[in-house]
Amino acid sequence: MSVRRALLSYYEIPAADPDGLAAFFRAVFGWESHAVPWDGPRYLRLMAPADSRPPGGGILERARGGERLVDRLTVNVDIAGETLDETLARVVAHGGTVTLPPTVIGEFGSYARFLDPEGNSFGLWRQQGDGG
């Protein structure tokens, strides 16, 4: 008997201007991208740094303040070596919009959220105690 599995593996970001959005992520996070050759619409593969941790996920209650933190499907990015304010300054400088300024989450760390220039939702997480 086989065991059912469903692993989180990948994300895709819709964009009217894939090259412009790739330039945004390069400017904000330093992520490179490359075109994937195929017969469909333009597709760029984002090259974020490798991480030994598997992708995770969570479900946040919309009531009791949860809707203030996450109101739609959101891709989260861990930030280290700088403050969330520094990252958000680049987001704004390159056409993104801050939707939640840095917010302390208990004793765990800080969270912020922004929309990229195409309106996709991203969260920024910074672990408490990071030296940046």
pLDDT tens, position by position, 38-80: 999 999 999 988 888 888 888 888 888 877 778 888 999 999 9
Provide the CATH number for the domain around residue 108: 3.10.180.10
The pTM of the full predicted model, rounded to 2 decimals, is 0.87
Structural domains counted in the chain: 1
pLDDT tens, position by position, 28-49: 999 999 999 999 999 999 998 8
Q: Indicate whether 11 belongs to any domain.
A: no
Q: Indicate whether 25 belongs to any domain.
A: yes
- Check: CB of residue 77 under 8 Å from CB of residue 93: no
Q: Indicate whether 4 belongs to any domain.
A: no
Could you list the residue range(s) of the whole structural domain that residue 85 is in? 18-50+62-127
